[in-house]
Amino acid sequence: MSHALVPTKLEELWAYIAENPEAMLCAGGTDLLVKIRSRSVTPDCLICLERLDDLKGVRFEAGEIIIGALTTHRELLHDPIVQRDLSILASAVQNLGSPPIRNMGTLGGNIVTASPAGDTLAPLYILKARLKIRSKESSRSVPIESFILGPGKVDLRAGEILSEIAINQDSRFTVNHFEKVGRRNALACSVVSMAALMNIAEDNTISEIRLAWGSVGPTIMRFGDVERLLEGRQLTVRGIEDAIRKVQQSVSPIADTRASADYRRDVAGRLLLRLLSYASSR
C-alpha cells in the first residue's frame, strides 16, 4: 500500500474517491486490515473514514432511528436510544468480538463485510432496517436484504458509501431475543445465531413474531412460513415443535472447521426452544 487518505468532511471524501477510484474504504479496519495482512486484498490506497463525524452517532428523525454507518459497536452499546429502543441490536453487539474490536469496528463495516456470521445482521433484518447509500451525486435507500447479495457481496457501486442505517421507530416488541452459539463464549465467530422479535397475547399465544438466522446459509435467512405457522400458536413445546422441524428442513448450512452442516441444522431449529423462557407462567 502506498498511501492512506483521511478525510474529515464529506466534500473531501468525494474528492478523494474521484481522484483515487481504485482506493478501498476503511472504517474501523477490523475486517479490512486482516485481509490486507493476509494479502487477500492489496489496495494501493486506503481512504480512512474514521474522522467523518457526520457519519457517526444515533438520532431520531421523522419517526425513524438513524444510525451513522461509522458508529462503533462500543458507541452503540452505550447509546441510550439503542439501549431503550433497539435492545436486540445491543444484545448482538454485546458479544461481538472483544473490547478492542468493539472500540474500532463499526456497524457499517459489519454490514458491508456481509458475512453470514455478521452478528448485527439478523437483528437488522427483522428490524426491517433500510440503508442509505450515498455518492457525490446521488442518494438511495435500500432494504438491508436487497443490499446484501451473498457472502462478501453487496449492492455498492463505484463511488458509493453506506452512510446511514434507518430503523422505523414502530418496531416495538415485548420480546427482543438474540442468541449466538459459538465454539467459546468470547471472541467466537457464530456457528449459528438467531434473532427474534415477538409479542405474546395474554392467553400465551404468539401474536406476532419475526425471526432471522445467521450462519446457516449464504446470507441471513428468514422463513415467512415459519412465522405464519407460529402466529396464533401457544408458546409451549407442543405449540412450536412443527416450526422447529420446518426450520431444520429450510436452512441450508455448510460444514466448515467450526461445525458440521447437520449440527448447524439441528441447533438452528432448537434455538426456538429458548423463546419458551418468555412464556407466561400462568
Ligand X SMILES: Cc1cc2nc3c(=O)[nH]c(=O)nc-3n(C[C@H](O)[C@H](O)[C@H](O)COP(=O)(O)OP(=O)(O)OC[C@H]3O[C@@H](n4cnc5c(N)ncnc54)[C@H](O)[C@@H]3O)c2cc1C
Q: Quick check: 34 binds ligand X (CB under 6 A)?
A: yes
| Contact with ligand X (CB under 6 A) among 119, 164, 179, 227 | 119
Q: Nearest-CA neighbor of 109 among 155, 56, 69?
A: 69
Q: Is 130 helix (H, G, I), strand (E, B) or coil?
A: strand
Residue 175 beta carbon to ligand X: minimum distance, rounded to whole angstroms: 22
| Interacting positions 203-232 with ligand X (CB under 6 A) | none
For ligand X, the closer of residues 28 and 123 by Cβ is: 28
Which residue has 396464533 as its cell numbers? 232
Judged by CB under 6 A, the residue of 10, 24, 66, 142 near ligand X is 24
- From the list 32, 90, 198, 216, which residue makes contact with ligand X (rule: CB under 6 A)? 32
Tally of CA atoms within 13 A in the half-sphere of 275 that contains its CB:
34
String of contacts with ligand X for each residue 81-110, x by CB under 6 A? ---------------xx---x--xxx-xxx
Tell me the backbone φ, ψ of residue 127, rounded to 5 degrees.
-80, 0
Q: What φ, ψ does residue 281 adopt, rounded to 5°?
A: -90, 0
Establish if 116 lies at the interface with ligand X (CB under 6 A): no
CA distances from 205 to 199, 200, 233 (A): 9, 6, 5
State how far the Cα of 263 lies from the Cα of 268, in Å rounded to an integer.
Answer: 8
For position 123 contacting ligand X by CB under 6 A, the verdict is no
**Residue 156 or residue 279: which is nearer to ligand X going by CB?**
156
CA atoms within 13 A on the CB side of 237: 1
User: Closest-CB residue for ligand X?
Assistant: 109
- The long-range contacts involving 259-268, CB below 8 angstroms and separated by at least 24 positions, are 259/183, 259/191, 259/192, 263/191, 264/191, 264/192, 264/215, 264/216, 265/216, 267/181, 267/191, 267/192, 268/192, 268/194, 268/213, 268/216
Binding status of residue 113 toward ligand X by CB under 6 A: yes
Among 17, 23, 27, 58, binds ligand X (CB under 6 A): 27
Euclidean distance between CA atoms 85 and 94, whole angstroms = 15
Q: Are the C-beta atoms of 207 and 201 separated by less than 8 Å?
A: yes
Give the separation between CA 117 and CA 183, rounded to whole angstroms. 13
The Cα angle at residue 49 between residues 44 and 55, in degrees rounded to 5? 155
Query: Closer CB to ligand X, residue 187 or residue 276?
Result: 187
In angstroms, give the least distance from the CB of 50 to ligand X.
9
Asked if residue 161 binds ligand X (CB under 6 A), the reply is: yes
- Closer to ligand X by CB, 162 or 212: give it: 162
CB within 8 Å of 267: residues ≥ 6 apart: 181, 191, 192
Query: Binding pattern to ligand X, positions 177-196, x when CB under 6 A?
Result: ----------x-x-------
Shortest distance, CB of residue 124 to ligand X, whole angstroms? 11
- Closer residue to ligand X in complex, CB, 153/228: 153
Query: Which residue of 28, 123, 253, 269 would you call a contact of ligand X, by CB under 6 A?
Result: 28
CB of 129 to ligand X, least distance (A): 14
Question: Which residues are at the interface with ligand X (CB under 6 A)?
Answer: 24-32, 34, 49, 69, 96-97, 101, 104-106, 108-110, 112-113, 118-119, 156, 161-162, 187, 189
